[in-house]
Amino acid sequence: MILRIVAILTLLAMALAHGGHEQQPIPADADWTVRHMSEEHHITSFDAGSFFNLHDYDGSNEWTLDDILKTYGLRHESTDHIPYAEKEKAAKSVIDLYDRDLSGSISFAEYTIGAAQGLTLPDFGWGPGHHGDDEYEYEIHHFEKFHGDDATEEELTHPEDVAHFRKHDMLEQQAERQEAMDRMRIVEANIPMKFRRHG
């Protein structure tokens, strides 16, 4: 646990030390891991252990199929067009690449030893691996790139801005409707038709 905390603090320090939110140029020959860290986390200097710990979402010291799906962004709506069977096949191929003890997952040791031996996470051609929530993804992939901290509301007119704030409005309306229903003693809409009084 202490090792995980140290690794996360190290990554945080590196992220804060890069000087700003601008994307650093990515070498044309960069592997998927380097592109992922640069595009998704704005981190350009990291080691295999830090990468592993950052993507060990539950702190279990192993990557499960679900961790790999999430790291590759295969749980994100931007990959909804990819059939689940294809996503699962890709994630299992990653496990097969590193899983030396055939446990069905990748341990910290298996990943870091594999990386030291030259193994790299494969690029399936599905993008950088969006695994943040909507706010994070909007901020890192749109707002930072096209606006900046001094942007005014009037400047937020790109289609991505409109869609982002439309979603906020929809969620706010849903919350207001739920609050109104929560205040009702009986929510008639929740009563099946056969049990309602007619007349």
In the chain the first and final C-alpha atoms are separated, in Å, by: 64
Strands 106-107 and 62-63 turn out to be antiparallel
Helix/strand/coil for 62:
strand
Would residue 18 count as lying in a domain?
no
Q: What residue numbers bound the domain in which 34 lies?
A: 30-131
pLDDT, tens digit, 9 for 90 and up, residues 52-76: 999 999 999 999 999 999 999 898 8
97-145 pLDDT, tens per residue? 999 999 999 999 999 999 999 999 999 988 777 766 667 666 765 566 6
Q: Does residue 184 lie within any of the structural domains?
A: no
What total of structural domains would you count in the chain?
1
Asked whether residue 163 is assigned to any structural domain, the reply reads no
The average confidence (pLDDT) of the chain is 81
Cα 42 vs. chain centroid, distance in angstroms? Answer: 13
Q: Which residue has the higher pLDDT, 105 or 8?
A: 105
83 occurs within a structural domain: yes
Report yes or no on 166 lying in a domain: no
**In a domain? residue 175:** no
User: Which pair of tokens denotes residue 78?
Assistant: 């931007």
- Output the domain CATH number for residue 81: 1.10.238.10
